[in-house]
Amino acid sequence: SSDCTIFGIVWSVYLEEFVATIGCGTPDTSNSFYFSTSTDLVRWTNMQALYDRGDMDEEVKKKVTSFNYPTLWDPLSPSLYYDTNYNTIGQTAYLLWTSLGHSVSTDGRNLWATPIQFEKKVLAPQEKLRMA
């Protein structure tokens, strides 16, 4: 979608694909983060839901008016995959994201690290998208 932005791309040794984290700016999609995968960085799968407001703990929801900047990070990347730039993830990773609160003086901006686990699924062939 033209209202969506890729905020990060990592290599998943578990999925054996690149994983892009996507944030969108439309009323229908702004309460969710998405991901897409690719084996060649040219053809991408359709976006799939990764994390949304419904996944948040109730105490977190109270502090969040909007959220953005999704990216994946695996703290084990340097030791397991010899990647000191953290561009590689395993089956599990953290979804790093920023939230905006109600006021700069009360709950301002926060950086969150939400655990994510990927599962391999047998998918029917699907149309690949070219992300420009």
Confidence tier at 75 by pLDDT (50, 70, 90): very high
Residue that wins the pLDDT comparison between 113 and 129: 113
Decide: 24 and 4 in contact? Cβ < 8 Å: yes
Contact 23, 33 (CB under 8 A): yes
Longest dimension (CA), the chain: 50
| Residues near 100 by beta carbon (within 8 Å), at least 6 away in sequence | 64, 65, 66, 67, 68, 108, 109
pLDDT at position 30 is: 64
Residue whose token pair is 């502090």: 63
Interval 24-43 mean pLDDT: 84
Average pLDDT along the chain: 85
- pLDDT of 122 above 80: no
